[in-house]
């Protein structure tokens, strides 16, 4: 058996892709290891979204180079693969900066990985960053059940990839290419396979997941709302989620699905980026802050308890103190259960990087700190609001201490419970006793537990 080590950075798409790369290499006799020193093939699955993310790859490649040398000393060969969005954005440049690398493969070419690995036996430095015409998903095998990568209780399923929106700060349209939706039948078949392998919660993912427009079995184009209704029928799947959505694509059908489908969890990650219309326009988001407020109102009238999450960028070129105050005002009005926030990072090749009025680093840092303090306050308040309530918790893994199990609430909060009589994969009503800074603590609320077999 040959050993494979994969490390993923960046978004859920990369987590999903790592699983599919492992599946693609399984027929070649590869099994995964958690120890890079033990690996015949090391794959770094990279992210290009901000400068820091992209630079991580090169420091990691320094460590990989030392491992490769040590292994070579013991007569063992190591092949090093750079995949993901840095691979797509930098291509052959990676080989120049880091000669330890054997293969550079972009996200649209993973189905060619076994062939590229064979080529790397003969040639030095193999690069594939094309956008091939064949659908990579058709050529990426999902490994047969016994070999299916252990995906646990909760799994991602890519239904859509790429982006046509071209926000002026963002590299994704360049690294992931044009928007493509997978056909409904393929998505449903994959969901059924995951359910057979013990998955109880599926998060359908895409860079613009609510722009989904896949071909249905009836020949019509299906929206995300319609797809979710179909996925809710897959046996044994207790929970559905989707991410990441764009405000422009929050249509009535999707909002109605939140009112109709008990399996669709009351949690919505809906990035807004900024609260100033001037900045939103410069970002090419093509919605206003009030559009966002109206969407939130509609979603909340469909599902009053929905927890909201978002992404924010501070210090986009031209952002004044007044613009930033608009962002704080939006956050105060909407109220978020959780959020990600970042300093603007100019990315080569994007229009934002060329704009006048780049904001000084210390201004960005100070704004980020103020925004994060507010968001953190809201997150803690949201978590405290769950104390005393009984919520369903899907148990996903062993807890921090022996005898404990860890899981998630419908609102994606982490919970620790005393395990007694419960198992991973169970969906258990839990009374929340207290809120720690990163986790809730609770006890099973008595009554018959819904077991994994139910």
Distances (CA, A) of 15 to 10, 66, 385, 407: 8, 25, 31, 19
Site for ligand SAH in 236-255 (CB under 6 A): 244, 246
Q: Residue 264 gets which letter from DSSP?
A: B
- Binding ligand F3S (rule: CB under 6 A), the pick from 24, 39, 41, 49 is 49
Q: Tell me the closest approach of the beta carbon of residue 11 to ligand SF4, in angstroms.
A: 9
311 in contact with ligand SAH (CB under 6 A): yes
Report the site for ligand F3S in 62-101 (rule: CB under 6 A). Answer: 84-85
Contact between 209 and 243 (Cβ < 8 Å) = yes
Least separation, in Å, of the C-beta of 247 and ligand F3S? 18
CB of 170 to ligand SAH, least distance (A): 4
Q: What DSSP designation does 273 have?
A: B
Provide the minimum distance between the beta carbon of 9 and ligand SF4 in the complex, in angstroms, as a whole number: 16
CA angle 269–181–134, rounded 5-degree value: 140
Q: What totals of helices (H) and strands (E) does the chain contain, helices first?
A: 14, 21
Q: Is 383 in the site for ligand SAH (CB under 6 A)?
A: no
Could you give the angle at the alpha carbon of 348 between the alpha carbons of 345 and 350, nearest 5°? 85
| Site membership for ligand F3S, residue 224 (CB under 6 A) | no
Query: Residue for token digits 């019509």?
Result: 220
Partner whose binding site includes residue 344, from ligand SF4, ligand SAH, ligand F3S, none (CB under 5 to 8 Å by kind): ligand SAH
Q: Does 172 bind ligand F3S (CB under 6 A)?
A: yes
Q: Give the DSSP letter string of 382-451.
A: HHHHHTT-EEEEEEEEE-SSTTEEEEE-TT--EEEEE-TT--TT-EEEEEEEEE-SS-EEEEE-SSPPBP
**CA 406/CA 424 separation, integer angstroms:** 8
Among ligand SF4, ligand F3S, ligand SAH, none, partner that 47 touches (CB below 5 to 8 angstroms by kind): ligand F3S
- CA-closest candidate to residue 440, choices 385, 398, 397: 385
For ligand F3S, which stretch binds (CB under 6 A), given 46-54, 66-74, 294-302, 444-452? 46-54
Q: How far is the CB of 88 from ligand SAH (least distance, A)?
A: 14
- Our CB check for ligand SAH shows the closer of 4 and 283 to be 283
Look at residue 14 and give the partner it binds from ligand SF4, ligand F3S, ligand SAH, none, a contact being a CB closer than 5 to 8 Å depending on partner kind.
ligand F3S
The span from the CA of 241 to the CA of 263, in Å, is 9
Q: Which residues bind ligand F3S (CB under 6 A)?
A: 10-11, 13-14, 47-49, 84-85, 171-172, 175-176, 207
Q: Which residues bind ligand SAH (CB under 6 A)?
A: 49-50, 169-170, 172, 207-208, 244, 246, 271, 273, 311, 313, 342, 344-345, 347
């Amino acid at each position: 058996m040959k050993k494979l080590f994969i490390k993923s950075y960046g978004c859920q798409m990369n987590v999903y892709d790592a699983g599919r790369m492992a599946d693609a290499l399984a027929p070649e006799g590869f099994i995964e290891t958690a120890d890079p020193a033990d690996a015949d093939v090391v794959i770094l699955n990279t992210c290009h979204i901000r400068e820091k993310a992209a630079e991580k790859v090169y420091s990691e490649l320094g460590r990989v180079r030392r491992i490769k040398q040590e292994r070579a000393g013991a007569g063992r060969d190591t092949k090093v693969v750079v995949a993901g969005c840095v691979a797509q954005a930098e291509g052959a440049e990676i080989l120049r900066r880091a000669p330890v690398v054997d293969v550079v493969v972009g996200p649209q070419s993973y189905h060619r990985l076994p062939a590229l690995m064979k080529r790397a036996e003969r040639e030095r430095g193999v690069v594939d960053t094309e956008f091939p015409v064949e659908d990579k998903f058709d050529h990426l095998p999902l490994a047969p059940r016994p070999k299916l990568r252990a995906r646990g209780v909760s799994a991602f399923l890519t239904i859509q990839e790429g982006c046509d929106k071209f926000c002026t700060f963002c590299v994704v349209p360049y690294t992931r290419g044009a928007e493509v939706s997978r056909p409904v039948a393929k998505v449903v078949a994959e969901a059924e396979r995951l359910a057979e392998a013990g998955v109880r919660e599926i998060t359908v993912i895409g860079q613009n997941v609510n722009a989904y427009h896949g071909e249905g079995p009836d020949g019509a184009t299906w929206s995300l709302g319609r797809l979710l209704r179909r996925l809710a029928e897959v046996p044994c799947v207790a929970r559905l989620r989707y991410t990441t959505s764009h405000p422009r694509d929050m249509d009535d059908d999707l909002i109605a699905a939140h009112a109709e489908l008990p399996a669709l969890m009351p949690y919505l990650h809906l990035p807004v980026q900024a609260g100033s219309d001037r900045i939103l326009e410069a970002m090419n988001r093509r919605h206003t802050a009030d559009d966002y407020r109206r969407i939130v109102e509609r979603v909340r009238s469909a599902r009053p308890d929905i927890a909201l999450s978002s992404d924010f960028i501070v210090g986009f070129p031209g952002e004044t103190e007044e613009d930033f105050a608009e962002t704080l005002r939006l956050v105060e009005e909407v109220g978020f259960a959780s959020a990600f926030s970042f300093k603007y990072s100019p990315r080569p090749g994007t229009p934002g990087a060329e704009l006048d009025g780049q904001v000084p680093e210390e201004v960005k840092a100070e704004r980020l700190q103020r925004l994060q303090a507010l968001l953190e306050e809201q997150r803690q308040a949201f978590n405290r609001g769950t104390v005393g309530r009984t919520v369903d918790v899907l148990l996903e893994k062993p807890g921090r201490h022996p005898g404990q199990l860890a899981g998630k609430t419908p609102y994606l909060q982490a919970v620790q419970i005393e395990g007694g009589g419960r198992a991973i994969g169970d969906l258990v009503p839990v009374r929340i006793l207290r809120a720690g800074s990163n986790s809730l603590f609770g006890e099973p609320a008595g009554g018959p537990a819904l077991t994994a077999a139910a």
